[in-house]
Each structure stands twice: as C-alpha cells, then as structure tokens.
Structure 1
Amino acid sequence: MANHHTALTPSGPRLPAFAQRLVRWQRAHGRHDLPWQVSDPYRVWLSEIMLQQTQVATVVPYFERFVAAFPTVADLAAASLDQVLAHWAGLGYYSRARNLHKAAQMVMACFAGQFPDSAAVLAELPGIGRSTAAAIAGFCFAERTPILDGNVKRVLARWAGVEGFPGEKAVEKQLWVWAEALLPESAADMPAYTQGLMDLGASLCSRSKPACAACPLRDDCRAHIEGRQAELPTRKPKRVVPERATCMLLIRHGDRILLEKRPPTGIWGGMWGLPEVADSAAALAWCESQGLRVKLGAAGPALLHVFTHFRLTIVPQAIEVLGEAGRVAEGAYQWYRLHDALEAAIPVPVRKLLLQQGSGLD
C-alpha cells in the first residue's frame, strides 16, 4: 500500500496546467453532440436539472420530448404543473420538475424572460444550487465560477488526494476550494473546461476501472501515482435502507379508474396516484367512508419500488364499485379512462399497476 500523504494545498505552478490540459483534452476527445450543447441558457438549465441524479443516456429522450413540448422558458412558465409533471413522469425526483416550473415563472416575472447572467443570481432560483448555477453561467456566459457535481467531486478527490466521503460538509468544502483554485485563467476557456470536467468524470475517471492511461491529468494525479483509484473518493458509509409498505386501491367503476391528486410536496408531490391505505383490510373501510358500495377483488402480487432513501412494497387491491360512484369524484379524486390515466402525470409504479390491471378498463 502506498503511503497516504495529506492532500496537497491548492496552490503552486501545477494549477494553471490542470485547466490547460483539460481544455485541450475536451476539445479533442470530449462530448460535442449532446442536444443541450448550445448557448441557450434555457436548454442548458433544463439539461442540468434533468442530469441531477440521472444518467445522460436516460436524459436525452426526455430532454428532446420536453423541449418539443415547451420550446422556451415562456412556454414552460405558461404550462400547468400537471402538463410539466406528465412530461417528467419516469425521471423521478419530482421536486426537480416542480422547482423547474416555479423557476420558469420567476424568470418570466422577475427577469423579463431572460436568464440572469451570473451564477450568484441564478442560484437564487428554485432548484438551482451553487454547482448548477455555475454550470449555466460557465457554459452560456463564460463566467469564471467553479462547478462541483458528483463526477467532478470524483475527479478532484482523486487528482488532489482529498480524503473522506464527499457528501460530508467538511470534505465538500475542501473540494470547493480546489474547484475554485483550478479554474482556467481565461474566461473564454470556461465552456470547454466545465464540459471537460463533466466529460472526464463520466468517461475516463469512472467510479470503477478508470482509464488512467488515457487521462490528461494522470502525471500528477495523487490517486494514480499512489494506486488509490479504488479508494478515492471515499465511499459513502453503509446504512440500512428502511422498508415501508402500502396498499394501493385500483377502484373501478365501469370502464374508469379512480385517481387521487397527491399533496403538492413530498414523494410524487402534485402527481396523480392511486388511493392508499395501510393494508387490504383497511380498503373496505376507506370505500365506506367515501360512500361507495363495492366488491373486493383479489389483492395482486406485491410490487417493490426502490427510492434513494427507502424501499416501498406496494400491494395492489382490486375493487369494483357497485351502483353509483358516490361522492368520491370531488376535490382530490377523479375518475379516468385507462388511456387518459396513462397520459396523466403518474409515478412509474402506478403506471405499472395500471398496465397490469388494465385489461378491463380499455
């Protein structure tokens, strides 16, 4: 095992060379054909929000459909939240879509439809943190300001030999200091430099089996020199993922199914879902409370849905309404034909359940 030295301090003659090598590499070997590699801050912003927690290959088709539906920030601001969520459905982390909609409305109301050209002001918009603001400012306005997303944390932690899990505040603070110190001297290099950091982290400097032989930074990368690529950055401490369970009610009335508008915040906030109770035994009581006379069908096979912070086991309970639909289609509830339900802003597991159970609804 190589000796573990303390991390270098962000100063010295190597620093300008870091940016120069990265910019040269990006221009020769980086990605140049992504649909959001344009000077339009609306598209750059949209891509940055979509790319949080989500891989490029997943994002591209969503991005293209989203831009086709909402070509400008004005179109997005004028759309309903339901329309926005319907185009986001399947990407997960739905607070991103709610913040996207709010931010678009703020750009229209407070900035006359023009995105602010500084990272400091951009970071005041909902859902835009320091790194996302810097990416928009660096790509579109050539502002010399650092980014620090997950891929960039890995590149800098390895190159500078920064110990500790990057999700911890003290470690992240240290990485921000490096990110600031390594910026190119010329603002004109900012778009290529910013893209280069992202590209390097997404390709050569991958989490497992990094391709160090092709890396432009290998000659003075601490992880490479000390053979510690597998150790840096320090992995997140293991923790037990909580398990939760719920029963989702597939309530049919003729050729329609009942959907419930979820509260505006929390998991799947603002989306349409199925009514939920603790278990199948509570299903009848819920129907009675809504004035529905029903016949319970069989509970379907359980569906496991994994979130970042917990695992959810969903038991679908089929229910047929006999006679009148009662007073249920008021307020948060609405009857949908299957086709319309599948077009609505529904979470992935609800879509799966509707498709599994939907043969009698179309």
Structure 2
Amino acid sequence: MPPSMPSGTLVRRHVGRSRLRRAAVVAIVLCALALLAWQLRSADPAAIRRLIVSASPAWLAAALALTLARFGVSAWRLGSLTRRLIPCRRRAFVPITMTAQLVGLAIPGVRAGAAVVRAALANRRFGGGVALHLAPNLLDQLLVAVSWMLVALALAPAVAAGRGSGSIRLPVLATVALVLLVTAVAALARWAPRIEAWLGTRPPRRWTGAGRDALGGAGQLAADRVALAIGLAGGLAFAVSTGLAQHAALLAVGAEVPWWIALLAVAVGGTAGTLTGAPGGVGVTEAAQIAVLAAHGVSDEQAAAAVLLARGLHYAVILVGGSVAAAWEWGRGELEGVLDEAREAPS
C-alpha cells in the first residue's frame, strides 16, 4: 500500500463502493419490477390468481421436474468442464451449484459473485486455487450464451413463418450475437496464453495473479474440443429444459401453444434479464417473457400466470434446494470465508 494512502482511506473507499453497488442493485430491481407492472397493466389480477390457483397439478409437476433437471444439467456441465483441468467428482457440484444460486441472489453483480462462490467451494473440495476454478466458470457462461443464440437461430424460421417479414430482427440479432460470442471463445483460446504471460510480468496486485491463472485455465479449456462439446451440449440441454418447463407451465393454465414459443420466450427473457444485471433477472425476465408470449397469441392473463408459475418454481427450487445445500456445505465447514470472497468479486 502506498504511504500516501492510509488504511482508513482504503476502508472508506471500499465501504463507499459497496454501498454504491447495493444502491445500484436496489435501483435496478425497482426499475425491473416497475417494468413488470407496466407489462401487466392490461391484465386482470383476479383472472391471473384464478389461473394460478386452478393450474393443473400434473403439468406443474412436470414443470418442477424440468426445473430440477436444468439445475442438474448446470451442475453436470460445470463439473465436466472442471474435470478437464483437474481431477474432481461431478456429483459434488450439485451442492456447490445450488449454494451459489442461493448466495448469488444477494450479491451485487450476481453472476460474478455466484461464480466466485462456486470457484471457492470447488477449491475447498479439490484444491488448485480459486482462480483456477474460475476458468471453467468463465467458459461455461460463454458457452451457455452461445447455446441460447443457437436456439434463437434455430427458431428463426418458425418465428418468421408465424410473424412475417418484421421478425427478421430475431435472426439478424441472434447471428450478430453468435458471431461475437464465438469470436470471444476463439480469442480466448488464441490469446489467453499471451495475456497470461503478460500478467506474469506485472507488479503483484490483488487480481493480477488470479486473472493470470483464470485466463490460463479458460484458454486451455477453450482450445479443448471435448470441453467445447461438453459446454455446448450442456448449454443446449439447459436451454431446452428451461423452455419445456415454461411450456408445461403454459399447459398448466390452459394455454395451448407450440413448445417452441415457450422456448423463444425464455431465450428472450433470459437474455434480457442477464443484460440488465438484475439479481436473478427478476422483473425484466418475466416482463420480456410475457411480452413474447402475448405477441404470439397468448392472453395477457395466461401469459402472466404461466410465467409467474414457472419463475416461482425456479425461485422455490433455489430457496429450498439452495438452503439444503448451503446447510450441507456449512456443516462441512466449507462456507467459512466464501461469502467475503464473493462480496468482493468485481461486479
């Protein structure tokens, strides 16, 4: 620490940044909920409640099973990518992933904080350093985004057939995003070793060494065809299971629509929620999904009820499954210090 910067100044700066991030998250959540309320302005609240209460138990059970499956796919995907770097047990990533999902809801910069939680817990189990475990998390998120864009492109012909020439925006935007994401993965494979070497020449700072190790591992995985295949297959399975869960929720409230419309809705909603940075995409994800469903002939009440049911199951699984997983990790002594690391992750 430079002599001109006393420790009290550093503490005040850190506290100030933490307060600013919390305030930003609160503002984002309030704006997201306002957006959701605006999207539901023409829907009848009483009709939505009736649809939710009278929803088909069988279809709700199917939606719950698919929601559980998507979290299982996430754990399998991350565990399989990590195994390409160091020996580990894939089943251990089930409690790791669920704990991170629960903790991540309360962290500014949810994805960054949850990734640090996953990396820290995996490091407690298998060693190798937190930075090394950040590498599969980085590639995992990139490949999930690539998978969503592939889904959007695959759905483009069906959307165009049903919506006319105005739907040209979907394939164009998906193609541009896909090209950018694939370029990012290719650049990671090509340039990560050079960036890693350059970081090794820099003065030691808090994130320099971590960035070097994380980039080195991510570059190694991005150059591994098996790792890329695992990530893409897992990402596509995650996307499809999410869409099918939403479709089951639509059927539960009596909305007879093709399954690909539900898949399109979750693709658009998930992307919108991620881009806004809202914790868990709350508000924005739901509003975007309702808008897509309404644009394809689903009534406002049915769209709202189905989305609220599907997202409610999503959060219920996180709260229940995450609490059980966190209790398990706490009992093993694995959570000590992990929350501090996650809170200080760059958002």
Q: TM-score, normalised by structure 2?
A: 0.24
Larger Rg: 1
Q: Which has the higher helix share?
A: 2
Higher relative contact order (CA 8 A, sep 6+): 2
As a proportion of its length, which structure holds more strand? 1
